Amino acid sequence: MPRQFLLNSDGHRPVCHRCRQASRDCQWSTRPAREQQSRSPTTLAQRLTTRPRSTEYISTKNPEKALGNPHIAAIFRYYIEHLAGWYDLNDVKRHFGDIVPSCARKNSLLLSAILAFAAASQSSSFLKKDLWDLAESYHLESVQALLQLTENPDEFRTGETLAAICLLRSYEIISQNISCQNHLQGSYSLLASQPAGLETGLLSAGFWNYLREDITVALIEKRSLMIELSRGQLPRTVEGEDDLANRITYLLGKVINRCLDQDGSPLEQHEWHSLNDELDTWRASLPTSFEPICTPEMYGQSHFPCLWTVSGWHASSLQYYHTALAILSVAEPMPVAVNAIQQINRINDFEKKLDHHAVQVSALAIFSNSAPVWVNSFGPISFCGPWMRDSQKVNELIQETQKWGSKTGWPVTSIVESLARSGAGG
């Protein structure tokens, strides 16, 4: 039965889901309700035939023809110039910035995924309604193409397909809600059947992006990953700094799966020491280039130490390291027996450790001045940030998180709310 219109409302307008997620004010149309289009469910064909000419949908089945449209080409270039860096954060070969756009000129699934994500990002950042409608159409086209590919596993199991899945995952985060797992679940079999750590090129780059996206959501939701990890996914040798960045990504994923599994058993002492030793070994293996540079007041006054790094992967790697240590601090097995004074000292030491890790994670994000670093920071900040004890630091982190949520279109409301609760209790 259709809902009745509220004839005697209080005049307050509700805040839509996407604006609430992005911590922005809703922009409302002043047109009468009867003039606004119905949002009832429609088929893909219906959406495409009713689209305004200013945001005309052009199928990507012929990629070159689609890119011949200046509006579509502008969205495509927006991805290249502003969004690809999110995915190339730990990739010295810039697969998502250089290889993916080239492949998209021939791969319709990859192009439609790029357009869906880039249009949704612009819509969320700049509140452009026509781009949101366009993003929905390209997302639907991408899903249809994925469903067709699953009928042929050999064609599905490619680097281009995995790259498209990573892009669609970002679309889901920005356009719907952070717990939407459709494409992560759908691509699990792809990763499980062909470990990407043994591969090279786009398939490997896609795997590490897939894993980082999974880590971000797991840290925000305080749960284990959607995927399992095996030693075969680690690079056999460390040939460059990006390999070190991928190694700590793997180690953090391993810690998350062991410690944040809701049905998991408590860590044994030997397990805790083994995981802690792996993190220590990774930290000791870092070249001096990973060390943060401390430059007080470089960016003006701040309650955080001004820590910045030469490369984005230095910042993200150290954030992952501190996040893994924070999780292990929470998961550390209790001694067999402690008296009251020992327990007080243990609690104080525990709080100092968590505060230290939170400050390091936050400072590396704040002074990065980098959208790729910030997008990758939202998970570590969500987990570590609430442990900070200084309310001034918490308030500054909230302001910075809101700023970068607005810049990137990323939904940060849940992160801000958890930080605000911790600040109020501090």
Give tens-digit pLDDT for 30-60.
333 333 333 333 444 444 334 444 467 999 9
In this predicted model, what pLDDT tens digit does every residue of 136-169 receive, in sequence order? 999 999 989 988 887 777 777 788 988 999 999 8
C-alpha to C-alpha distance for 179 and 194, rounded to whole angstroms: 26
Whether 325 maps to a domain, the answer reads: yes
Whether 206 maps to a domain, the answer reads: yes
In this predicted model, what pLDDT tens digit does every residue of 297-342 receive, in sequence order? 787 789 999 999 999 999 999 999 999 999 999 999 987 788 889 8
> What's the pLDDT at 129?
72
Residues 209 and 165: beta-carbon distance below 8 Å: no
C-alpha to C-alpha distance for 50 and 44, rounded to whole angstroms: 10
Q: Domain end: 162, 184, 213, which one?
A: 213
Mean pLDDT of all residues belonging to the chain: 83
> What's the pLDDT at 240?
87
Whether 316 maps to a domain, the answer reads: yes
Is the same domain home to 248 and 201? no
C-alpha to C-alpha distance for 225 and 258, rounded to whole angstroms: 10
Is the same domain home to 275 and 313? yes
CA distances from 216 to 61, 234, 320 (A): 32, 19, 10
Is the same domain home to 75 and 158? yes
Chain-centroid distance of CA 300 in Å reads 28
Q: Is 287 in a helix, a strand, or coil? A: coil
Whether 28 maps to a domain, the answer reads: no
The encoded tokens of residue 309 equal 């790094």
Range of the domain at 315: 234-425
- CB-side neighbour CA atoms (13 Å) of 126: 11
Type and span of the H or E element at 354: helix 340-366
Is the same domain home to 295 and 353? yes
In this predicted model, what pLDDT tens digit does every residue of 167-203 receive, in sequence order? 998 998 887 655 555 554 655 555 455 544 445 689 8
Is the same domain home to 326 and 379? yes
- Side chain identity, residue 380: P
> What's the pLDDT at 182?
55
- 39 or 95, greater pLDDT: 95
Is the same domain home to 205 and 253? no
- 247 or 24, greater pLDDT: 247
Task: Say if residue 19's pLDDT is above 90.
Answer: no
Is the same domain home to 99 and 243? no
Domain count, the chain: 2
pLDDT band at residue 367 under the 50/70/90 scheme: very high
pLDDT band at residue 257 under the 50/70/90 scheme: very high
In this predicted model, what pLDDT tens digit does every residue of 96-111 receive, in sequence order? 999 999 999 999 999 9
> What's the pLDDT at 297?
79
Residue 308 gets which letter from DSSP?
Answer: E
Is the same domain home to 129 and 177? yes
Whether 35 maps to a domain, the answer reads: no
Is the same domain home to 63 and 133? yes
Is the same domain home to 93 and 193? yes
